[in-house]
Structure formats: C-alpha cells, structure tokens
Amino acid sequence: MNAPLPSSGVPAAPFSVLELAPVVPVVVVEDAADAVPLARALVAGGLPAIEVTLRTPAAADAIRAIAAEVPGAVVGAGTVLTPEQVTDAVAAGARFLVSPGCTDALLTAARAAGVPFLPGVSTASEVMALLERGVREMKFFPARAAGGTAYLKSLAGPLPQARFCPTGGIGPETAPEYLALPNVGCVGGSWMLPEDAVAARDWDRVERLAREAAAL
C-alpha cells in the first residue's frame, strides 16, 4: 500500500520510492523546455515520482527545472551508471537514483549521496549480493526479458525480504499483474508518455494517462 505524502507533497528523507505511487514514469527529455509542463501533468495525474533518464544532454537541466518549479514532484535520475553521474544528478536536484545494474563503486557513491537508490538486478545472485550489502529495494530490469512476473514470483519464496520496482516492457495491460505480487512495490514505465503526445506537447493527454496509471 502506498504511503500518503505530507501536506507539502514531497516526502521527507529517508523515504521509499516504492511507496510514492504504483507507477514511476520513466522520462526521456529531449528538450529541457518540456520538462516542467510534462512533470506538472504527471503530478496532476497522481504520479509524483518522476525518473528522468540520463540518456540525453537535456537530462540534468530537466531535473534541475522540475526540482525547482514543480511542487509535489519527487524527481529522480535514471540510467545512472557512474559515481560521477551520482554526484551530478544529486547536485541538479535528484531526490532518488535508479540504475540498470550495480557495481561496488556505484553503490558506494549512491550511499554517500544520501538519497534512495534502486540498483538494477535480473538474477537471484544479484539480489543476494545486494541483500548482503543491506539493500532491500531494487529495480528488476529488464522485467519482461528477464522473466517477468513468473520470475518475480519465484524470487518471493527464498528472498522475501527483497522488494522490487520492475521496469522494462511493462504497459497498462501487464502492470496490474506485477503490482499484485507481494514483492513488488511499484512498476516503472513510459506508456503514459506517448511519443506523439510529447511531440505535440499534449499535456492534457499525458495527465489523463497518468491518472489512469495512478489508479492501477
């Protein structure tokens, strides 16, 4: 069950990314000018946790703008691969970090940064290694390719202490199947951000799709 946000709309640290909303939008920002209206549409639709991937030159500016101008948004950085990106993302205003995998250096840097971190895993051994380091919340990626709900069900028995945000190949049709699992706190996806809607700056449509996702 998702925990309510405080009256400010922004959780105090420490907080769990998995408890903010059932869906974390995975956002690729090509034009930093789109960041604020896009984020406002997502927040208005009930999706406050926004993962801006570090895949474009506009990503850092997008994070900075959302953090400064969108009350209620909990903006994070995704596709974090290096300790340097950890430092830069947090400096830009990222409140949480997400990576497709994990290394010792990345985990050390994320912990030093003092913000929630969802390291990516796709095998039982990777989950066990992170549990040994005290990590309980992880990103399961790429979810569909790595075995989907069947694989996560298999992990729940021997590794019940691990909780996941599955991301990769998830849409509105399959999201409820993931969210029904006891070891899944939320899912990540981008279906509420269709390319044609973003290109047309149709933020009303984005808000409508976000509201549907938030109701899952």
Indicate the pTM of the whole model: 0.93
φ, ψ of residue 74 in degrees (nearest 5): -115, 90
Q: CB–CB of 18/43 below 8 Å?
A: no
Looking at the predicted structure, is the pLDDT value of residue 4 above 70? Answer: no
Q: What is the pLDDT of residue 12?
A: 60
Exactly one of 19, 51, 137, 207 is catalytic; name it. 51
CB 35 within 8 A of CB 18: no
- Phi-psi sector, 201: left (phi>0), alpha (psi -120 to 50), beta: left
Q: Give the DSSP letter of residue 167.
A: B
pLDDT of 18 above 50: yes
139 is catalytic: yes
Tell me which of 5-14, 32-41, 85-94 is least confident: 5-14
**Tally of CA atoms within 13 A in the half-sphere of 97 that contains its CB:** 30
Average pLDDT over residues 167-192: 98
Per-residue pLDDT, 14: 72
Residue 17 reports pLDDT greater than 60: yes
Q: Three-state DSSP class for 131?
A: helix
Q: Catalytic residue at 153?
A: no
Angle CA 64–68–74, to nearest 5: 80
Backbone angles phi, psi at 197, to 5 degrees: -70, -40
Using the predicted structure, report yes or no on whether residue 1 has a pLDDT greater than 60. no
Share the mean pLDDT of the chain. Answer: 95
Residue 144 has pLDDT above 50, yes or no: yes
Q: What is the rounded CA–CA span in Å between residue 46 and residue 20?
A: 10
The length of the chain, given as a count of residues: 216
d(CA 10, CA 48) in angstroms, rounded, equals 8
Closest CA to 26 of 92, 105, 120, 90: 120
User: What is the tens place of the pLDDT at every residue in 63-78?
Assistant: 999 999 999 999 999 9
Of these residues, 139, 153, 207, 212, which one is catalytic?
139
Residue 183 has pLDDT above 90, yes or no: yes
Span 98-118, pLDDT tens digits = 999 999 999 999 999 999 999
Is 44's pLDDT higher than 50?
A: yes
pLDDT at 58 over 60: yes
